[in-house]
Amino acid sequence: MKNQTVIVLDSGCQYNQTIARKIRDLRIYSEILPYSTPLEKIKELSPVAIILMGGTEKQSPMIDRQLFNLNIPILGIGYGARLIANLSGTAFSNEFVNQKIIFKDNPLFKGVDNTTLKISDCIKTLPQGFEVLANTESCSIAAFRSLEKRIYGTLFDIKSMPQGSLILRNFLYDIAGAKGSWSVKSFVQNMTQSLKAKIGDKRALCAFSGGVDSAVAATLVHNAVGDRLTCILVDHGLMRKDECEQIMKVFKDGLGMNLIKVDASDRFLQRLKGVKDPEQKRKIIGEEFIRVFEEEAKKLGKIDYLVQGTIYPDIVESGFGEASLVKSHHNVGGLPNVIDFEEIIEPLKDLFKDEVRKVGFELGLDESIVMRQPFPGPGLGIRIIGEITKEKLDILREADFIMREEIKLSSLDKEIWQYFAVLTDLRSVGVKKDKRTYDYTLGLRAVTSSDAMTADFARIPYEVLERISNRIVNEVKGINRIVYDITSKPPSTIEWE
Ligand code: XMP
């Protein structure tokens, strides 16, 4: 059975993720599309409701007025409500003050208490066929509806209201008639069906990093089409200890996935020789990755689809955001430009990270994969300060392994977002077994975070730090000093490069 879908028309502000999230929490499938989506595509999806969200300071997207004639319930919030008023031929004025909002008795605000909120705009005259649903002392139209057209608008920000979810619930369930049948289980069932139907007897390819997103995306597709999916794991030699072997064991031996490991470590090391600049490293690793992948893909003959583990926050952060470049993130996003695929398949593109994890569990993947901490595309390459050499990689791999093992043994792994070791370019004097040493300093990094946009350094107990430190200096040759990074993001970043 097809899921009922709510379409959220979006101009790309982070805010909209919250609304999409709230809709998902109401067990209704929501799909976020740009305002530029053609009317035909919207009709095709036959949504149970449409939500019009905010514009940004720089963008005032428009919609096709015909949207109002589809007899699909529409809720405009903030900018979305202004757009409805605008297209219905009415003017509005700016307000920008906190005001008590008084709700009239109507289904949209059923059970919602009058509340004080900032409203950004106020409509001066009601569009024809509309009625007032809420007002404030100085704004007589703060929310409105056309019962006949099933169009609703609120000029205040539902997200910042304690009862915002109730308003959404009222709209989606009572006004639009949504049933609330979306769940991770139904997502997996429906996605498997639609992947089967789409790929059919054609072939798909996936760049497999072992990270949660690509692992879950690949498993979904593998379950749907089996050997019609080929996965390529590019071993750039910058993976953590035993990582590639574990990936092969779980996915190839365990799940029977058609997974090819390409050992390209020498190539990467060769290209990275003498390179110290972090951006330069990222660029080289990204480019080389694409090159290796492309070469391997060509060996496979005609491939029709490229599967990517893109998730919803990736789309917002890379596609819509105008944040200045802090680091050029490397993932497989650049691949489609170089290989001629019919289409890219992104089965997780509407999901948030925690939903992807739930899908992973639903598919039967092990906790060690589903709860894996984020690991950057350029791998250990950006955790070695200065030039990357085989010797340094071996030192870092061992040290990082010990740190991860001790964090796990202390049961801190669930509280900490990311924890890893960084090999600095600094050598200092030490003493071991009465002998002078002149070895590397290792940085330990552990942060708590909810989305990696900001992060705080983790308050790891001294005893745990002591154990990690003792073990590393005793067990790993080449390190004689260890420091713990106590900076947060910002002003630092999580990775050191
Ligand atoms: P920063 O260091 O910018 O990292 O605070 C934020 C999050 O992103 C991860 N990261 C990357 N992930 N490719 C990735 O796929 C990259 O190039 C990359 N650089 C950083 C980092 O591990 C953290 O989770």
- Dihedrals phi, psi of 310, to nearest 5 degrees: -60, 135
Does ligand 1 have an atom closer than 6 angstroms to the CB of 493?
A: yes
Q: Are residues 431 and 329 in the same domain?
A: no
Q: Are residues 171 and 190 in the same domain?
A: no
**Cα-to-centroid distance, 28 and ligand 1 (Å):** 31
Q: What is the pLDDT of residues 352-365, one digit of tens each?
A: 888 999 999 999 99
**Cα-to-centroid distance, 328 and ligand 1 (Å):** 9
The Cα-based distances of 26 to 152, 182, 312 in angstroms read: 19, 8, 18
Q: Are residues 21 and 170 in the same domain?
A: yes
How many structural domains comprise the chain?
A: 3
**pTM for this entry:** 0.78
Report yes or no on 211 lying in a domain.
yes
Q: Are residues 191 and 159 in the same domain?
A: no
Q: Cβ distance 318 to 333 under 8 Å?
A: yes
Q: What is the pLDDT of residues 379-391, one digit of tens each?
A: 999 999 999 999 9
The residue from 124, 140, 175 where one domain ends is 175
Mutate to test the pocket of ligand 1, among 329, 416, 422, 489 (most ligand atoms within 8 A of CB): 329
The residue from 131, 154, 175 where one domain ends is 175
* 211 CA closest ligand 1 atom index: 15
**Cα-to-centroid distance, 84 and ligand 1 (Å):** 40
Upper half-sphere CA count for residue 95 (Cβ side, 13 Å) = 25
Report yes or no on 463 lying in a domain.
yes
For the range 291-295, what are the long-range contacts, defined as Cβ-Cβ under 8 Å and sequence gap of 24 or more?
A: 292/234, 292/236, 292/262, 292/264, 292/267, 293/207, 293/232, 293/234, 293/332, 293/335, 293/339, 294/335, 294/338, 294/339
* 497 CA closest ligand 1 atom index: 2
Report yes or no on 491 lying in a domain.
no
* DSSP secondary structure letters along 337-360: GTS--SEEE-TTTT--HHHHHHHH
Report yes or no on 376 lying in a domain.
no
203, two tokens = 């072939």
Q: Look at ligand 1, atom 4, and give the residue with the nearest C-alpha.
A: 494
Report yes or no on 380 lying in a domain.
no
Q: Are residues 169 and 196 in the same domain?
A: no
Report yes or no on 434 lying in a domain.
yes
Q: Cβ distance 222 to 199 under 8 Å?
A: no
Q: Are residues 222 and 351 in the same domain?
A: yes
Rounded Cα distance between 204 and 174, Å, is 42
**Cα-to-centroid distance, 379 and ligand 1 (Å):** 9
The residue from 370, 397, 418 where one domain ends is 370
Report the relative pairing of strands 151-154 and 143-146 from DSSP bridges.
antiparallel
Q: Are residues 324 and 220 in the same domain?
A: yes
Q: What is the pLDDT of residues 425-449, one digit of tens each?
A: 999 999 999 999 999 999 999 999 9
Q: Are residues 171 and 188 in the same domain?
A: no
Sheet holding 259-263, edge to edge: 259-263, 229-235, 204-207, 305-307, 343-345
Q: Are residues 93 and 229 in the same domain?
A: no
| Amino acid identity, position 234 | V
pLDDT confidence of residue 145: 96
Report yes or no on 223 lying in a domain.
yes
Residues spanned by the domain of 265: 184-370
Task: Evaluate if residue 321 carries a pLDDT over 80.
Answer: no
**Cα-to-centroid distance, 419 and ligand 1 (Å):** 13
Which range, 11-25, 86-100, 130-144, has the best average confidence (pLDDT)?
130-144
CATH number at residue 213: 3.40.50.620
* 493 CA closest ligand 1 atom index: 5
Q: Cβ distance 166 to 115 under 8 Å?
A: no
Report yes or no on 89 lying in a domain.
yes
DSSP 102: E
Q: Are residues 75 and 130 in the same domain?
A: yes
> Which residue, among 482, 472, 465, has the nearest Cα to 400 in the 3D structure?
472
